[in-house]
Amino acid sequence: MRTLILGVVAAFSLLLVAGCGKGDVESSAKIIPAPAESIRLTEDLRFGAVDSPGSPFFKRIGHITVDDEGQIYVTDRGSIAVIVVAQDGKVIRNIGRQGQGPGEYRYVSSVDVDADSVLVWVPFGGVLVYDRETGAYRNQYALPILGGYSLAPITLKDGPILIANSSSGRPDGSPNHVLRFAIGDSVAHTILSLPSQQLLHGSNGSITFVSYLKGPRCAATNKLVYCGFNDDLRFTKLSTQGDSLGSIEVEFEPRSVSVSEKAAFEDKYAGTEFAPNLEVPAKWPAYDRVIGDDNGNLWITVDLGNDDITTLWVINTDGGVSKKAELDGIFRPHFVGSGKLYGIDTDTDGDETVVRYSIAM
């Protein structure tokens, strides 16, 4: 089992922020310094490899979540499946199946769980609801879409469902919306709108896969929502009703795009539909993913320029001690809870496995 070393960061307060959502709020703040001291995490579960008996094999993992009993829910976009896995990595059941009938889906995006339901998010198709205990299909709800092409749901405990509806790269320059939407609602309420941003775009307004590295990101912790663009480590702080509560910012300078990196992009897309208006930014995005936990922490994958190492910064939004971690290879965090970190590890061949780490504070 692999062991990780984490570090500590000092406390912080709120930054000046422009009002958004339901009103304008101003508050002063100090910049959060970079992490320093260390704690330890230890890998205690890995599954999904081809040679793992009794373990599922994933073609392309989409999303991971975990229920209060420690059961792990994984969407596989390659095989179009939602798989429930026990704490020991063995398959329990599948939720729904591929198809076009009641309780079936053509594609899957994300999965979430609440006290008695499993919620399967279908791109542009809403959410399918299944019984958590048996996997039986219950209902389907359509979700309003404000012009974007990607949905990233966040389900809060005892609270509404939040959806970051990204429209980055659309020819009409539509803004990105953060929505509040509870299951059964007929209307979604916009609590935040952010301008459209892109990394690369072509003359027809299309986006390459690289665009997903830059754009709005949202996470929830302690019934608060944190949203921002990943060109820096600044996050707008919101209540679930859309009240602006200030912002936080971590001290960090995104690295510059080198001359050779810029040339590599231009060479790659020369002669393609993206070439006429290819725009390569001066700096790389500050981070890729951000997720929240129940202890007031934001877990952020920070880009420090080493493709062989994934760097995690764990920022405590309540002003307490935070941490950092370095992981070998490519690791994407998806869920933190009950002293465990879950995510996707990708090896040099592109094969993906689900990994769980114990968090020892």
Q: Given this model, what pLDDT does residue 317 score?
A: 83
If one compares 289 and 71, the residue with the highest pLDDT of the two is 71
**Per-chain mean pLDDT for the chain:** 76
Cα–Cα distance measured from residue 275 to residue 202, given in angstroms and rounded to the nearest whole number? 6
Q: Given this model, what pLDDT does residue 227 score?
A: 85
Question: 168 in helix, strand or coil?
Answer: coil
If one compares 197 and 318, the residue with the highest pLDDT of the two is 318
Q: Given this model, what pLDDT does residue 31 score?
A: 74
The listed range with the strongest mean pLDDT (151-155, 193-197, 222-226, 344-348) is 344-348
CA diameter of the chain: 56
Question: How do residues 96-131 score in pLDDT, each as one tens digit?
Answer: 999 999 999 999 988 988 888 999 988 767 789 999
Find tokens 């990204």 and name the residue. 166
Are 32 and 12 contacting, i.e. CB atoms less than 8 angstroms apart?
Answer: yes
Are 240 and 223 contacting, i.e. CB atoms less than 8 angstroms apart?
Answer: yes
Q: Given this model, what pLDDT does residue 29 score?
A: 56
Q: Given this model, what pLDDT does residue 131 score?
A: 96
Q: Which of 15-29, 107-121, 161-175, 332-346 is predicted with the least confidence, judged by mean pLDDT?
A: 15-29
Task: Look at residue 224 and tell me whether its pLDDT is greater than 80.
Answer: yes
**Long-range Cβ contacts of 117-122 (<8 Å, 24+ apart):** 118/73, 118/82, 118/84, 119/153, 119/155, 119/161, 119/183, 120/75, 120/82, 120/95, 120/96, 121/151, 121/153
Cα–Cα distance measured from residue 293 to residue 285, given in angstroms and rounded to the nearest whole number? 23
Q: Can you say whether the dihedral through the CA atoms of 153, 156, 157, 158 is positive or negative?
A: negative
Give φ, ψ of 262 to 5 degrees: -60, -45
Give me the mean pLDDT over the 282-292 stretch. 85
Q: Given this model, what pLDDT does residue 271 score?
A: 64
Question: In sequence order, which residues have a C-beta less than 8 Å from that of residue 228 and are 6 or more positions away?
Answer: 216, 217, 234, 235, 236, 247
How many CB atoms within 10 Å of residue 46?
17
Q: Domains along the chain?
A: 3-360 (2.120.10.30)
Are 136 and 118 contacting, i.e. CB atoms less than 8 angstroms apart?
Answer: no
Give me the mean pLDDT over the 209-216 stretch. 47
Task: Look at residue 278 and tell me whether its pLDDT is greater than 60.
Answer: yes
Q: Which of 131-145, 175-189, 236-250 is predicted with the least confidence, judged by mean pLDDT?
A: 175-189
Tokens at 288, concatenated: 């890729």
Are 331 and 314 contacting, i.e. CB atoms less than 8 angstroms apart?
Answer: no
Share of the chain above pLDDT 70, in %: 69
What pTM did the predictor assign?
A: 0.83
The listed range with the strongest mean pLDDT (106-115, 136-145, 259-268) is 106-115
Task: Look at residue 325 and tell me whether its pLDDT is greater than 50.
Answer: yes
If one compares 119 and 152, the residue with the highest pLDDT of the two is 119
Give me the mean pLDDT over the 307-313 stretch. 88
